[in-house]
């Protein structure tokens, strides 16, 4: 059966153009566009691609138009045309699709979200909901939850290779961790920033007030050394994250633990492998008892000091202090007052 030819009068054409330009729902807009183009003799294949529908869907739209005229634009919608509904069978299909990781055959995105689900439902079932809550209900029905995704560096290696490297590190640390004369640290740098801005204040109802704010941004870098046995985390302020400051920090760590052998496990930052640090290690002087181990590249989720930074940042967030130094001090005090038993 071929594509039915939607016959449109001049009055209907004016109404379709109006709906195409002003209708609040995408499905109505697409139907109006398709009917206008088909009635003008445009190739159905071109029209289907333009409105992002299958040609078979256009056949249904054209057939419904010839039977119901303008009412066919709202077929499947309830009440005041605000939304349409999935059938029980369609809900089962949607739940099955949503329970699987999105792929090219479903969505051109790594994660499910409301706009992409809206697109998938409208193109698959010609169903459009008026409220985002309805889409969220479908996502929850499929067992999904809304939370912030973890960051993932595109340069990250294969997970199997990363897991193998972590296993090797753990095996290498077995003896040092059991040795009373050796200290094992997980290390990393972090920076905290602050823009001192007061957003709200209590004052007399019905009046206005002015709060003077300091828009100047400030930041402070730290390096942290998390003791893998005691759970204590030493934080040292850095003027900058570069070769000289990192070398000085490692020397400070050594000076705080005289007579101890020290193992540091950290990432592959350039300042962790710089010539200045390697030269000091080779000379066998201040760093003669220091051994460095590198985590797999671009795998910060395996460094146990990362949750220490997150915990401290959460503790100082959303608190307006008089000056940035107070924020820095609060960050240090939070870490200093706790033990963090995060392990490699």
Q: Where are the domains of the chain?
A: 10-141, 159-336
CA dihedral 66, 69, 75, 80 (to 10 degrees): 180
Higher pLDDT, 208 or 65: 65
Lowest-pLDDT range of 61-70, 146-155, 227-236, 287-296: 146-155
Task: Determine the pLDDT at residue 165.
Answer: 93
Average pLDDT for the chain: 80
Distance CA 66, CA 12 (A): 12
- Three-state secondary structure call for residue 258: coil
Give CA–CA dist 6/32, Å, rounded. 11
- Counted residue by residue, the chain has a size of 344
* pLDDT given for residue 123 in this prediction: 67
Residues 19-39 pLDDT 10s: 788 776 777 888 888 899 988
pLDDT of residue 190: 93
Measured distance between the N- and C-terminal CA atoms of the chain, rounded to whole angstroms: 66
- Which residues, at least 6 apart from 333, have a Cβ–Cβ distance to it below 8 Å? none
Measured CA to CA, the distance from residue 117 to residue 124 in angstroms comes to: 10
Cβ atoms within 10 Å of 45's Cβ, excluding its own: 11
pLDDT the model gives residue 318: 65
* pTM of the shown model: 0.55
Find the farthest-apart pair of alpha carbons in the chain and give their distance in angstroms, rounded.
95
**Cα–Cα dist 291/234, whole Å:** 18
Backbone phi, then psi, for 263, in 5-degree steps?
-115, 125
CA distance linking residue 185 with residue 162, whole number of Å: 20
Closest CA to 344 of 166, 198, 127: 166
Identify whether the C-beta of residue 184 lies closer than 8 Å to the C-beta of residue 177. yes
Q: Does domain 159-336 have CATH number 3.30.420.10?
A: yes
């Amino acid at each position: 059966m071929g594509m039915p030819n939607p016959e449109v009068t001049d009055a209907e054409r004016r109404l379709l153009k109006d709906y195409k330009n002003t209708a609040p729902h995408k499905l109505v807009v697409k139907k109006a566009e398709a009917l206008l183009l088909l009635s003008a003799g445009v190739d159905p294949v071109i029209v289907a691609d333009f409105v992002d529908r299958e040609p078979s869907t256009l056949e249904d739209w054209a057939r419904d138009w010839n039977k119901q005229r303008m009412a066919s634009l709202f077929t499947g919608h309830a009440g005041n045309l605000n939304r349409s509904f999935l059938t029980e069978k369609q809900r089962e299909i949607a739940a099955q699709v949503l329970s699987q990781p999105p792929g090219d055959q479903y969505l051109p995105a790594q994660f499910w979200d409301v706009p992409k689900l809206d697109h998938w439902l409208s193109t698959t079932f010609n169903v459009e909901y008026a409220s985002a809550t309805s889409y969220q209900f479908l996502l929850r029905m499929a067992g999904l939850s809304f939370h912030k995704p973890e960051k993932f560096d595109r340069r990250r290696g294969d997970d199997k290779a990363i897991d193998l490297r972590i296993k090797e590190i753990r095996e290498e640390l077995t003896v040092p961790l059991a040795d009373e004369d050796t200290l094992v640290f997980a290390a990393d740098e972090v920076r905290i920033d602050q823009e001192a801005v007061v957003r709200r204040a209590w004052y007399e109802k019905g009046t206005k007030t002015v709060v003077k704010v300091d828009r100047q941004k400030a930041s402070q870098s730290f390096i942290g050394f998390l003791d893998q046995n005691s759970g204590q985390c030493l934080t040292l302020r850095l003027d900058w994250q570069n070769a000289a400051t990192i070398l000085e920090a490692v020397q400070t760590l050594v000076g705080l633990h005289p007579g101890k052998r020290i193992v540091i496990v950290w990432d592959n930052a350039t300042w962790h492998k710089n010539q200045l640090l390697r030269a000091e290690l080779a000379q066998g002087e201040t760093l003669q008892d220091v051994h460095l181990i590198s985590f797999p590249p671009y795998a910060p989720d395996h460094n146990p000091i990362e949750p220490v930074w997150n915990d401290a940042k959460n503790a100082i967030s959303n608190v307006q202090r008089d000056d940035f130094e107070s924020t820095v001090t609060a960050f240090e005090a939070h870490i200093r007052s706790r033990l963090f038993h995060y392990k490699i």
